[in-house]
Structure 1
């Protein structure tokens, strides 16, 4: 059996990034693990460092259970360099190359309206973007 993976993004503003990635991926807030009914209840079992709270993290999941879970965690240090790992948001591959490129442009525009920035376009192939905190990803 292959290992399952979670992806984790460090950030300064958990709510901002969680809302962006829910919009970008169609993800939802992941329910807390059983038998807990809230994240606050789940986190209460851990000895959190002073000053940390449930608002310092968000856990998102694919509502269909197909994609990996995305954890978004507040960290004190700022982003300093290019990501060594990034996400690719893939549009459907059917149709002509021009139709596919039009879908990539439409998706990139949707994500700009949600708070992303276009960093570079590779016309006909993919668009390099950054989320609201500068984490790079591609639309392809």
Structure 2
């Protein structure tokens, strides 16, 4: 039997606090008191945010010296259109896309529904990390 009790998703980035605060806004996460109490110097090297209900994984952001050079091998799917189909789903994705652009995200492309998958939106966060509105 596995002894894993929690999962944390870690992002390598140049500006941990900036990226972390972006994801707080996207997901409705909060900054834990231990992070808020950390010095500005510490938050420049790491930052974290958490689901206020403690249900979904904590996100951790760590500063690395190298920049992003290739596509992510792992990404987050932000589930905004669950249960919706067709034009109704696309309208919800477009509305959330507009909100996230105001936070600093970049729209990459809309993937239109096919025989197997519903429509989803590929986006990038404030440092170019890909994620999907699903």
Query: TM above 0.5, one fold?
Result: yes
Structure 1 unaligned segments of length 5 or more: list them. 41-51
Count of paired positions: 126
Partner of 2:116: none
Task: State the partner residue of 2:127.
Answer: 133
The answer for the alignment partner of 1:14 in structure 2 is 16
User: Which residue is 2:112 aligned to?
Assistant: 123
C-alpha offsets along residues 62-93 of structure 1, whole Å, 9 cap, x if unaligned?
Answer: 00111100001111111111100000000142
In structure 2, the residue matched to 1:39 is 38
Distance 2:121 2:91 in 1: 12
Question: What SS is found at the alignment partner of 1:28?
Answer: coil
Confirm whether residue 68 of structure 1 aligns to residue 57 of structure 2. yes
Q: Which residue of 1 aligns with 2:45?
A: 56
Unaligned runs of 5+ in 2: 114-118
* C-alpha distance in 2 between matches for 1:23 and 1:97: 27
Matched-pair contact (CA < 8 Å) for 2:81–2:93: no
- Assess if the C-alpha contact under 8 Å between 2:13 and 2:64 holds in 1: yes
CA deviations 1:43-67 (Å, max 9, x no partner) are xxxxxxxxx7343111100001111
- 8 Å CA contact 2:50, 2:57 repeated in 1: yes
- The answer to whether structure 1 residue 97 and structure 2 residue 99 are counterparts is no
Q: TM-score, normalised by structure 2?
A: 0.83
> CA 1:95–1:54 in 2, change beyond 3 Å: closer, same or farther?
closer
Could you say which residue in structure 2 is the equivalent of 1:23? 25
Name 1:43's counterpart in structure 2: none
Q: Aligned partners of 1:76 and 1:62: how far apart in 2?
A: 28
The runs of at least 4 consecutive aligned structure 1 residues that moved more than 6 Å come to none
